[in-house]
Amino acid sequence: MLRNKYITLKKAIYIAVICYTLILLFIVATSYICIKKLDQKVYLWIQLENIDRQILEVRRYEKNYLLYHNKQDLIYAMDYIEKLELELEKNSKFIKNLDTKNKIDELKKTINNYKTILENFIEQEKISTAQAKKIRKEGHKIVVIFNEIRNKIIQKLDDEIKKYSLVPILIIFIVLLIAPIGAYILAIWIIKPIEHLAYYAYQITKDQANCIPEYEKWFIKYKEYEQLRKAINQMINSLNNKQQELIQAEKMAAIGTTISGIAHEINNPLNNIFLTAEIIIDSFEELNQEEIQEMLQDIYKEAERAREIVAHLLEFARNKRESNLENIDLRKLVKETLKLVANEIALKGIKEKIILPEEEVFVKGNFNQLQQVLINIITNAIQAMNKGGKLEIRVKKKDYQAVIEISDTGPGIPEDIRKKIFDPFFTTKEKGTGLGLSVSYSIIQKHKGQIEVESEEGKGTIFRILLPVYRKQGRGNVDGNR
């Protein structure tokens, strides 16, 4: 029963995208049908004009014959009569559909009578005044009947053109009304459990709760939240057990504060989720579908990253960790990481300078873990520059090593503290746990790299990450180390 209540966030986003795509296809299909209908109406309008021209030509040659008695004019008139009959036959189906069947039949009958009179005139040497009046009368009757048909058809065409022109506009208006509401509901559906998670995470940091309870308000929940909640609770239990072991072994009496490390480690992804979600809520009417989809994907990525961070903390407590290694371009790693902390940088009024090489700088490693290292270091730099400053990040190659330098203009780190910053649980922050840089140091070591620190009080700090370059070589050797 519980399984039916959960859906993955990825699937929910896919469903939302599919729904919006179907709506878009519906709009396109409806617009296409309306355009085709309009095209038919315009085509019929043109055909009516063609028929009108045929009738005018017949009457012109009729008039010429009555004036000059040239039988060639009768032959020309007969040609146009035949063309007129062809035009009527070709378009009679469309015209009859517009409630003009009786009039069309009357027009055809009149044209046939007119044609018979013309044929008789061709056989006669001379016509009488009565015959001339008769042919004028029949010709005039053709004009009158056709004008009645055309006026009626034009009225109906005007009505249908207006109708088919309004349909796409009406559909688009309805979609524009429904789409933001759907996006807002989806955003709230994603945000509320995260707020619930953040609230209890904060309560845990204040020792006012020892686990995160299940979020009960939504009947359908997304699976990643529940996995994250269970992972955090499992981590809390594991850290509590570790705390007891350390206390019994008389190691690090401050282990009781490790539970608050949850907030430190997952604070960055949660902040990014909140900031992105706030943008969606505050500006969703101004955002288009593509921007909303991109922001929801960012939320999903951050939730995934938070879950992985929790898993890493749990593994750190158990002293076990496995890494899925891949080829990583450090330029991309830096760019993606800066997107996640861009809001914090902007809020603190910090100027950033990014220096990246033109060529790719590849290393072999785990993208999320290396990103976690950069976020930890950059976040420390941001927190060190409360009143603003300058953050510089540089990527370069040095011999067979890839180097990432992160420098800030903060107050610097005293020498006696600098020696301890990578020790587990060492911190100078009031609510810190000292796990951030310790985990970062461990990750870089597992990537066969190093972290160096240079700092001068009053001037700032430089963190330098050195990793082996991954280089593909022509004869099968792909190891960047020599």
> Mean pLDDT over residues 283-300, rounded?
82
Q: Is the pLDDT of residue 126 over 70?
A: yes
Are the C-beta atoms of 145 and 103 separated by less than 8 Å? yes
Q: Spell out the residues 6+ positions from residue 477 whose beta carbon is closer than 8 angstroms to its own.
A: none
pLDDT band per the 50, 70, 90 thresholds, residue 98 = low
H-helix or E-strand containing 326?
A: strand 326-329
Beta bridge partners of 355: 394
> Which structure tokens are listed for 106?
């009357």
Residue 363 pLDDT: 93
The residue among 365, 370, 373, 368 whose CA lies nearest residue 326 is 365
Rg of the Cα trace of the chain?
Answer: 41
Q: Is the pLDDT of residue 475 over 60?
A: no
Cα distance between residue 194 and residue 196, in whole Å: 5
Beta bridge partners of 392: 353, 407
List, for residues 384-396, the tens digit of each pLDDT value.
888 889 999 999 9
User: What phi, psi does 247 have (nearest 5°)?
Assistant: -65, -45
List, for residues 228-271, the tens digit of each pLDDT value.
878 888 888 887 777 666 545 433 333 333 444 455 556 777 88
Task: Give Cα 453 to chain centroid, integer Å.
Answer: 41
User: What phi, psi does 97 have (nearest 5°)?
Assistant: -65, -15
Cα distance between residue 460 and residue 384, in whole Å: 9
> Mean pLDDT over residues 278-294, rounded?
82
Cα of first residue to Cα of last residue in the chain, in angstroms, is 57
Q: Is the pLDDT of residue 170 over 50?
A: yes
CA angle at residue 297 from 295 to 302, to 5 degrees?
95
Q: Kindly list the structural domains of the chain, giving each domain's residue range(s) and its CATH number in brackets, ordered by start.
A: 7-174 (1.20.120), 322-482 (3.30.565.10)
Q: The pTM is what?
A: 0.38
H-helix or E-strand containing 451?
A: strand 450-456
Are the C-beta atoms of 375 and 340 separated by less than 8 Å? yes
Q: Which residue has the higher pLDDT, 20 or 451?
A: 451
Residue 468 pLDDT: 92
Residues constituting the chain: 482
Specify the range with the lowest mean pLDDT, choosing from 71-75, 139-143, 317-321, 405-409. 317-321
Cα distance between residue 232 and residue 197, in whole Å: 10
Are the C-beta atoms of 372 and 312 separated by less than 8 Å? yes
Are the C-beta atoms of 314 and 235 separated by less than 8 Å? yes
Pairing of strands 450-456, 460-468: antiparallel
The residue among 340, 462, 467, 446 whose CA lies nearest residue 396 is 467
Cα distance between residue 451 and residue 442, in whole Å: 10
Task: Give Cα 46 to chain centroid, integer Å.
Answer: 43
List, for residues 145-154, the tens digit of each pLDDT value.
888 888 887 7
Q: In what order do the strands lie in the sheet with 389-398?
A: 350-355, 389-398, 401-408, 460-468, 450-456
Residue 332 pLDDT: 92
Pairing of strands 350-355, 389-398: parallel
Residue 263 pLDDT: 57
